Structure 1
């Protein structure tokens, strides 16, 4: 069974993990997610990946989300890193790592992704406008989509609640045939409450998600068939095994 469930409202990539990223009008979807998304990360002295939380891979570096990054021509494979004061650094130049180390008073180094994946859970992550509206209704104030660092925002119109929670195990067909397989809900952590580039702290978001949606928002996803996705593309939901 196939149903048109909305359109692509926005696309985002984050060239350097845990920094603010960039909005896109179109993006190439690869087996490893959006092209140039989180292909670089900042590493701590013990080899951990700088983040807003602590796990076996990640190390908390508070304030990192106030930095930003972008991957543009002529060298999109080497992102630019921007400090909160607007200073710009190429990710592959020593000056970038020095600036980070000085700003956070610890040894930090920028590196490309190798055997250790930079994505938290899966290469792709999506949210719906319905879920954002539901969370805003619970919060009592507007909730900025940038707080959740998703790759795709799907405009689902007036559909209430958290509709993507019913899509787990299905496929989305986007635009001219890009297909993504939908996994489980995206687990949330303290990062959603923290301040970041252009956004103040909002300490009740995680608590609300815990009380009303099992501390999850949006879905994890993997690429089935890649290609170009554009803002405004139609989104079709195919339910059942392997999208049949």
Structure 2
């Protein structure tokens, strides 16, 4: 098993970036979901409604990539603003049709469930077998699941992560993760994002066949670097 893809989402629920390498600390990939769109009620933009999050149409029209001291947000018309620029707040508010600000994480992490999310090529192949690939691809586009790490796992299509909770995974020379539990999915996986079009079958299929879960999240036991191509092994 090896790392096939690394993704970071500098602003929660916006499109993110694919990286050749990253640093993983106790909080997760450095800079991942460190910022979020916050509305006037203090709720954060998401694809679902919960106590902390509010569904906001149009978030997937926006993208963000890392930078210091704040990430850069790109609008559909090509304009770019740093997330700490008041002009960014006004532009994103106008795009979403509601007053919002871009807020850096405070005491409570912006992650939905945990620091580092993982999916495998085997699970993608299994789900593709159940409901078909995305147009123009031979699989379901992994970007739908917004995972930090896509792991290339040889073998037949399956949901191998079902057996992972509680296990310790070493990645590359120093990074050590402990898998916590499966990731519960929401309607976001069916929504159009980047090159992936709208679907209406993925969440229903997972609800019927896999308790509405796909992939897992992990806690960081030992921080370290991760690079595409790194080998993964169980401790």
For the aligned pair, the TM-score class normalised by the smaller chain equals: over 0.9
1:58 partnered with 2:53: yes
Specify the alignment match of 1:45 in structure 2. Answer: 40
1:235 partnered with 2:227: no
Alpha-carbon offset, residue 133 of structure 1: 0.7
1:49-198 counterparts in 2 under 5 A? 49-72=44-67, 75=68, 77-141=69-133, 142-198=139-195
Alpha-carbon offset, residue 140 of structure 1: 1.8
1:12 partnered with 2:4: no
Specify the alignment match of 1:242 in structure 2. Answer: none
Alpha-carbon offset, residue 177 of structure 1: 2.2
TM-score relative to the length of structure 1: 0.92
Q: Following the alignment from structure 1 to structure 2, what is the Cα–Cα distance between the partners of residues 214 and 12?
A: 25
Q: Following the alignment from structure 1 to structure 2, what is the Cα–Cα distance between the partners of residues 151 and 27?
A: 10
Q: Secondary structure at the match of 1:153?
A: strand
1:21 partnered with 2:16: yes
Q: Following the alignment from structure 1 to structure 2, what is the Cα–Cα distance between the partners of residues 200 and 159?
A: 27
Specify the alignment match of 2:215 in structure 1. Answer: 218
Tell me how large the CA RMSD over aligned residues is. Answer: 1.0
Is 1:127–1:152's contact at 8 Å kept on the other side of the alignment? yes
Alpha-carbon offset, residue 65 of structure 1: 1.3
Q: Following the alignment from structure 2 to structure 1, what is the Cα–Cα distance between the partners of residues 48 and 132?
A: 26
1:184-209 CA distance string (max 9 Å, x none): 10000111111122221111000011
Q: Following the alignment from structure 1 to structure 2, what is the Cα–Cα distance between the partners of residues 85 and 146?
A: 22
Q: Following the alignment from structure 1 to structure 2, what is the Cα–Cα distance between the partners of residues 183 and 168?
A: 5
Q: Secondary structure at the match of 1:185?
A: strand
Is 2:132–2:140's contact at 8 Å kept on the other side of the alignment? no
Name segments (4+ residues, structure 1) moved above 2 Å. none
Q: Following the alignment from structure 1 to structure 2, what is the Cα–Cα distance between the partners of residues 134 and 211?
A: 14
Q: Following the alignment from structure 2 to structure 1, what is the Cα–Cα distance between the partners of residues 65 and 37?
A: 15
Specify the alignment match of 1:200 in structure 2. Answer: 197
Tell me the matched-pair count: 230
TM-score relative to the length of structure 2: 0.95
Gaps of at least 5 residues in structure 1 are: 1-5, 239-244
Q: Following the alignment from structure 2 to structure 1, what is the Cα–Cα distance between the partners of residues 107 and 147?
A: 23
Q: Following the alignment from structure 2 to structure 1, what is the Cα–Cα distance between the partners of residues 225 and 76?
A: 32
Gaps of at least 5 residues in structure 2 are: 134-138
1:36-94 CA distance string (max 9 Å, x none): 0000001011000011110000001012012100014xx2x410001122211110000
